[in-house]
Structure 1
């Protein structure tokens, strides 16, 4: 039998990572049980807002599936225990800032209030299962 998989987290609450992993496994059928997980937030930052949930899930899936996400894509949204994606505050401001930084596409929760139309392509996702299916052809 294999040893206990390692969970090393820098810059994010370890409990939040555990929750995201549990939801990926229970709602999307993607197991992380036997895999080591190393998560490091770049730049030494400390992320405490739930808007990073979907981006963390995307990074984990990208590493697990060995599939790169588009470099011009920004991803944000809160993941609930049911796997639904919850909208986050300041959606318009997040998208405007992402556009200033050179991003041309975004993934956001379906119920987000978005009125931006200048060159930013926004894909709205209702839940984590849909996100996994569309972005990684799995789930």
Structure 2
């Protein structure tokens, strides 16, 4: 299983917005491939790239709380086809298409199944969209 697929699964299981997951997404999609994740005291997550300097992921977008931030994960990797707060038997659901892929799969889904007291309707949709977008990004 790829790192992006694992992260998509973490989004689907999240109980609400999660800043550590936001930092992991930031590191996975926006930093150089040679970077490695580093946990610092006090819960600060960051990364170290080939230059050896530590950079904080504290300023990562709130992907798991904001639909607008989750939409940035699509970038050139897909288009939002469907987003519904009751699309998967009452759970938040997202479908993302990859028109550039001619073979199956070219449609990727995300379901936010870990809705709990910390979740909001918006964060449930954001988590579902994050999962679908990360799967679309990981497809080759």
Which structure: greater strand fraction? 2
Q: Which has the higher contact order (CA 8 A, sep 6+)?
A: 2
TM-score normalised according to structure 1 size? 0.23
TM-score normalised according to structure 2 size? 0.23
